[in-house]
């Protein structure tokens, strides 16, 4: 898959099947196979792609979107589950790494959704997940907050990968935390993309982190919308694009998708050489830093509502504790998913 430090990146701009977990997962599996056939080493989907970003929060009053809220919660993806097993199988069969945004449902309370990036390896197993640290504006009415346990990079044969959701790139410090961990290929997951801020923030991380960035969002196709969303207008894009794009460590767009109402898999090549050259000039977490003046401290303990006070290590009684450890990845595909649409 790699030659002399080279790799091939894919941004999958496609429309999910809203509120339909299984159908969206099957579509994702088909797209994963297509990306692999195009030679991709790593393929990425947009924010909360499976089973869809909740754009309707901006499109109606509470009575109008109440049913949409219920359907969204009901179609959430639990980790692990039959849905994640299916995605892992597709990645393993295609021998490709995948980063996909999912609306992750809390397996304990069944009442909270997290905006999660799921990292899946070509071995057919979950590498880890990252829950969005701070949902933006109205997103806070449907998404819970993540914690620092998932703010990490993943070493792959061709390079070190990472990812953040949407306006986490505006927060500055999460991006620096990943750069300090040596990210070389970063997934910037957006709802649809195309805004000037999104484009700027994606390019800024590429330049500051000396890394490749896959900036990817979903396609907007009216025919994919379910009955619950009929009559609700998606907020208009304020900028002409580009939409999904792949950016090199100098901030140059290597390839982009011009329209948001079209599905496409865009491909670009990268290399370790492409990362190392700009780092020689300014490695902001290495020789171009001043830790004697400025340091970033991260709380990487997983948050928990239930803690055993008698345990010496204050072990977490929720499923999050297992996912915070490297050695737990093989166990993340065992439990069945709760029923839902």
Helix (H) or strand (E) holding 231: none
Domains in the chain, ordered, with CATH?
6-331 (3.60.110.10)
Handedness of CA 145, 112, 20, 97 (dihedral sign): positive
Alpha-carbon span 41 to 3, nearest angstrom = 11
Can 210 be counted among the known catalytic residues?
Answer: no
User: Of residues 29, 104, 132, 228, which has the active-site annotation?
Assistant: 132
C-alpha distances out from residue 68 to 26, 52, 65, 71, 305, Å = 22, 12, 5, 5, 28
Q: What was the pLDDT predicted at 240? A: 53
Q: Using alpha carbons, select from 172, 245, 249 the residue that is nearest to residue 209.
A: 249
pLDDT of residue 334: 41
Contacts of residue 85, defined as CB under 8 A and 6 or more positions apart, other chains included, come to 333
Please pick, among 27, 47, 210, 228, the residue that the annotation labels catalytic: 47
CA distances from 36 to 158, 171, 267, 318 (A): 15, 33, 11, 35
Q: Of residues 29, 166, 210, 211, which has the active-site annotation?
A: 166
Q: What is the pLDDT of residue 62?
A: 77
Tell me: the pLDDT tens digits for 159-191?
999 999 999 999 999 999 999 999 999 999 999
What is the chain's mean pLDDT, rounded? Answer: 88
Ranges of residues in the chain with a pLDDT under 70 are: 1-4, 193-194, 234-242, 311-341
From residue 22, give the alpha-carbon distance in Å to each of 17, 97, 105, 272, 280.
Answer: 9, 20, 15, 37, 46
What is residue 335's predicted lDDT score, i.e. its pLDDT?
A: 43
Residue 170: which residues within 8 A CB-CB, separation 6 or more? 197, 201
How many angstroms separate the CA atoms of 232 and 222, rounded?
11
pTM of the model: 0.88
pLDDT of residue 74: 96
pLDDT tens for residues 260-303?
888 999 999 999 999 999 999 999 999 999 999 999 999 999 98
The reply to whether 47 belongs to the active site is yes
166 is an active site residue: yes
Which pLDDT value is given to residue 192? 86
Round the CA-based radius of gyration of the chain to a whole number and report it.
19
């Amino acid at each position: 898959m790699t030659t002399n430090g080279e790799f091939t990146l894919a941004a999958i701009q496609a429309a999910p099947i809203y509120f339909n977990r299984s159908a969206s997962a099957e579509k994702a599996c088909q797209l994963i196979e297509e990306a692999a056939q195009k030679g991709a080493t790593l393929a990425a989907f947009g924010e909360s792609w499976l089973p869809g970003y909740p754009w309707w929060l901006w499109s109606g009053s509470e009575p109008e979107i109440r049913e949409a809220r219920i359907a969204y919660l009901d179609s959430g993806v639990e980790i692990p589950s039959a849905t994640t097993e299916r995605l892992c199988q597709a990645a393993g069969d295609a021998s490709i790494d995948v980063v996909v945004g999912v609306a992750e449902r809390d397996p304990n309370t069944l009442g909270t959704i997290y905006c999660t990036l799921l990292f899946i390896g070509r071995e057919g197993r979950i590498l880890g997940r990252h829950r969005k640290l701070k949902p933006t504006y109205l997103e806070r009415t449907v998404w819970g907050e993540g914690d620092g346990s998932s703010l990490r990079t993943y070493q792959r044969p061709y390079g070190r990968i990472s990812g953040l959701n949407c306006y986490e790139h505006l927060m500055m410090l999460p991006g620096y935390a990943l750069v300090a961990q040596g990210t070389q290929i970063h997934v910037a997951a957006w709802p649809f993309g195309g805004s000037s801020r999104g484009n700027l923030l994606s390019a800024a991380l590429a330049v500051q982190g000396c890394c490749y960035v896959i900036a990817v969002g979903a396609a907007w196709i009216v025919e994919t919308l379910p009955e619950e969303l009929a009559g609700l207008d998606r907020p208009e894009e304020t900028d002409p694009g580009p939409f999904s794009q792949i950016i090199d460590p100098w901030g140059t767009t290597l390839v982009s998708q011009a329209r948001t109402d079209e599905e496409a898999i865009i491909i670009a090549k990268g290399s370790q050489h492409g990362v190392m050259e700009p780092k020689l000039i300014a490695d902001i977490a290495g020789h171009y830093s001043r830790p004697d003046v400025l340091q970033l401290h991260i709380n990487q303990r997983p948050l928990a509502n239930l803690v055993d006070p008698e345990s010496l290590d204050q072990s977490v009684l929720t499923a999050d504790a297992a996912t915070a450890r490297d050695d737990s990845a093989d166990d993340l595909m065992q439990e069945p998913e709760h029923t839902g649409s």
